[in-house]
Structure 1
Amino acid sequence: MKIQKTLCSLICIVLWGCNSNSSVITTSQISKNNTAIQDIDPMSQKGVLELMDLTSTWQINNLPHVMYIPGGIIEPLTTHNWVRATFLSGMMAYYDLTKDQEIFNYVDGLCQEVDYKLGERQRHADEFAIGRVYTDIFLVNRDPKVLEDMYERVDYIIDNPKRGPVVGWNGDNNWSWADALFMAPPAWLKLYTSSGKRKYLNEMDVRFWDTYDHLYSKEDHLFYRDDRFKWDKEGDVLKTENGKKVFWGRGNGWVVGGLVDMLTYTPGDFHSRKKYKQLYLEMMEEIASLQGEDGMWRTSLLDVEQYPVKEFSASAFFCYAMAWGVNNGVLDKEVYLPHVNKAWSGLVKCINADGKIGYVQKVGSSPFALSENDTVEYGCGAFLLAGKQMHELLEQ
């Protein structure tokens, strides 16, 4: 991958915020390989790299500057937004695989534009999604400036806790929804990795299991997205059209994506490590049982009839987490490798000739309908995370 920043592209950065009609951020020009997608072998290491290059190239050249939220809400989409942060997490995985300095420079350049700051909401888990990227950058360049804002923010929260079981569950105060377990815990955990200070590990751990107790169904081995869907709560419960429990595909994808980091970065002697592993194993077994014949999963995991169209982002996170488990000997290769290969093949079929990824459910908080043309950059981020694991898997 070749990324060339020019004077023209720098001018575009300045003008971007002023140009409300622009839908593409032209901060870089990427020269991708010329291999046609139909000629790529997705089950070869070379093919995996070509697919990662193809999709990341398309995504970089088509970064939107706003995001659309259900209800007609439009919000700016900046580097420290969780949507962009998820894509950049995938890009850092791509860098970690290739050690291509131009990939690192691209990601770091975007983060420099926001001065390595988190978003404005002081306690909200989404604001820490970019922290995953900042910690990855720090572990490469060891520049203390990269983590200054995050240390200050997390230290404040530790000193002024508003845990869900104590003050009540609210996204502005604590990790009250399933997605939060991808956004915040890995960033907090990597602060421990970066600093060696146990307080970050311990506080992350307490809050993670708070959310587990709040949203995990021990019967179904899946997470409710939030308390609207819990069957053990008082009052009305949201159900599928067919009266089944609602377990959101991407919501559980976020969780297992976060669990990979829990198992990667928690110390071997940490008291909760066995609990993280057991949770991961339970969820992987259930998720594998729900895989479609096409290798993909649906937005509503237990009621595929309601929304039968395959969904990319959840499937990519499941592929990523499952492939990681096989690579690291946590999952039985004989049992899970067929699921991983099937998922990867299904994901590749969602990529068009230009590298655009389709079938990505838009920003939301529950299952809903989607189409082949739907795409959001967190889908590409999840694909890059899965791609790194597939590349490693194909070495074996």
Structure 2
Amino acid sequence: MNKWFFILLVLLPFQLFAQKNVLTDFPKGYTPEEVGERLSYRFVDSKHALYVGKWIGYYETFTWSGALEYAAMTKNHKLLKLIRKKFDYLLTEEKQYLPPKTHVDLNTFGSLALKLYRITKDKHYRELGMSYADSQWELPKEATSQEKEWAEKGYTWQTRLWIDDMYMITILQIEAYKVTKEIKYINRAAEEMVLYLDKLQRPNGLFYHALDVPFYWGRGNGWIAAGMSELLQYLPEDHKDHLRIMQGYKKMMESLKIYQNSRNIWNQLIDQDDCWSETSGSAMFAFAFIKGVKNGWLDEKEYAPLARKAWMSLVTYINEQGDVTEICIGTDRKNDKQYYYNRKRCVGDYHGQLAYLWCVNALLE
């Protein structure tokens, strides 16, 4: 037998095995189980992060949802009981914090209720969650002319063409689809996604924060990367919008691969080398890589090592209290480059905690 052929025959299985374990074998302190445990219990013990000081915000909603999914995936019944107890307390003693169905950021709360229904089968959670999902396409009497215009075109009246929306709207309608199996819900998410792709994705694959804000903000791009990843996992391959969304997703992943920095994460402004490394957007990009590899949308040999490097780096930004550091504060759009450079860096902010929990759950899938 040829010597080199023999060596190849011996080494190839080991190389394939190593490749398969890139997203499963982690050293102590870096496993998704350990990180998920730390962040989930940290959430249970944390106070509410209210939106404009009044209602449960999308950032708390998604952190809550991530902890809930982690508890369900790991069959941690103690944690699941604590999370459900916290939710039930919100529905009774703290119901003044329940968000109204008046804004794209606030309607996201319904996705948490629907996920809780899927796990517990408590119909009360379903009714609550569906009221948020359906109201997103029910034009209110006091709607503005612009909101009416979007509704007349078949989109949600909450459309505003900010890239953040493409997780907010998408995840709520996907959860409604999972619960009801009614195609109209995933159609809504897909059609909305195509609109945002057509309007906001640039030739380099990245997205402006909004039509009038020509900057590639990290977490904003993270929201849409995560939204496409979630949608593609449930959108039928023969759906009319599947190809368009997959093209947009892959184009973005190719660009993110280029801009992954020397710390193996991404900058606050993705394409600016002198901008600081930001964790929440980076975790969302890692999540999109992990989803792509595990679902076969991305080449495993190429993207799995990049996802691993990102995860290994991201874990080092968690402090002893279980709080993620270097998180960009909640950010409105602004046509001012320096504005994004100067955004406050937070510790333990839910925008970061939620993105890490997404990675945890994606790695455990």
TM-score, length-scaled by structure 1: 0.73
Counterpart in the other structure of 1:48: 32
User: Which of the numbers 275, 298, 301 marks the counterpart of 2:267?
Assistant: 298
Counterpart in the other structure of 1:260: 229
Give how far 1:94 is off.
1.0
Counterpart in the other structure of 1:357: 324
Counterpart in the other structure of 1:311: 278
Distance 1:247 1:373, change over 3 A: closer
In 2, the alpha carbon distance for the partners of 1:200 and 1:380 equals: 28
Question: Is structure 2 residue 104 aligned with structure 1 residue 151?
Answer: no
- Do the aligned partners of 1:121 and 1:172 also contact (CA within 8 Å) in 2? no
Question: Is structure 2 residue 311 aligned with structure 1 residue 338?
Answer: no
Give how far 1:311 is off.
0.6
In 1, the alpha carbon distance for the partners of 2:270 and 2:286 equals: 15
Deviations 1:44-83 (A, max 9, x none): 698331122223333433435556xxxxxxx3264x3111
SS at match of 1:228: coil
| Mapping of residues 67-216 of structure 1, within 5 Å | 75-76=52-53, 78=55, 80-115=56-91, 119-122=99-102, 124-160=103-139, 162=147, 173-216=158-201
| Alignment-mate amino acid for residue 265 of structure 1 | Y
Counterpart in the other structure of 2:258: 289
In 2, the alpha carbon distance for the partners of 1:297 and 1:163 equals: 38
- Do the aligned partners of 1:85 and 1:129 also contact (CA within 8 Å) in 2? yes
SS at match of 2:272: coil
Deviations 1:7-45 (A, max 9, x none): xxxxxxxxxxxxxxxxxxxxxxxxxxxxxxxxxx95469
Give how far 1:321 is off.
1.2
Deviations 1:119-172 (A, max 9, x none): 2142x211232222222112112222213244334434435394765779x997
Question: Is structure 2 residue 213 aligned with structure 1 residue 250?
Answer: no
Distance 1:109 1:144, change over 3 A: same
- Do the aligned partners of 1:361 and 1:370 also contact (CA within 8 Å) in 2? yes
The percentage of aligned residue pairs carrying the same residue is 23
| Alignment-mate amino acid for residue 55 of structure 1 | L
| Alignment-mate amino acid for residue 125 of structure 1 | V
More helix by share: 2
In 2, the alpha carbon distance for the partners of 1:158 and 1:250 equals: 26
- Do the aligned partners of 1:360 and 1:370 also contact (CA within 8 Å) in 2? no
Distance 1:372 1:154, change over 3 A: closer
In 2, the alpha carbon distance for the partners of 1:373 and 1:208 equals: 30
Deviations 1:312-333 (A, max 9, x none): 1001111111111112221111
Give how far 1:248 is off.
0.5
Distance 1:102 1:130, change over 3 A: farther
Counterpart in the other structure of 1:375: 348
Distance 1:334 1:65, change over 3 A: closer
Give how far 1:356 is off.
1.9
Give how far 1:342 is off.
1.1
In 2, the alpha carbon distance for the partners of 1:263 and 1:275 equals: 11
- Do the aligned partners of 1:164 and 1:175 also contact (CA within 8 Å) in 2? no
Deviations 1:180-203 (A, max 9, x none): 111121211221221122222222
In 1, the alpha carbon distance for the partners of 2:244 and 2:113 equals: 27
Deviations 1:284-312 (A, max 9, x none): 1111111111111111011132x2x2111
Q: What is the number of residues matched between the two proteins?
A: 324
RMSD across aligned C-alpha pairs, in angstroms?
2.9
- Do the aligned partners of 2:111 and 2:175 also contact (CA within 8 Å) in 1? yes
- Do the aligned partners of 2:108 and 2:132 also contact (CA within 8 Å) in 1? no
Counterpart in the other structure of 1:275: 244
Give how far 1:228 is off.
2.2
- Do the aligned partners of 1:171 and 1:177 also contact (CA within 8 Å) in 2? no
TM-score, length-scaled by structure 2: 0.79
In 1, the alpha carbon distance for the partners of 2:236 and 2:78 equals: 32
- Do the aligned partners of 1:362 and 1:375 also contact (CA within 8 Å) in 2? no
Unaligned runs of 5+ in 1: 1-40, 68-74, 231-245
In 1, the alpha carbon distance for the partners of 2:85 and 2:32 equals: 26
- Do the aligned partners of 1:290 and 1:297 also contact (CA within 8 Å) in 2? yes
In 2, the alpha carbon distance for the partners of 1:153 and 1:200 equals: 12
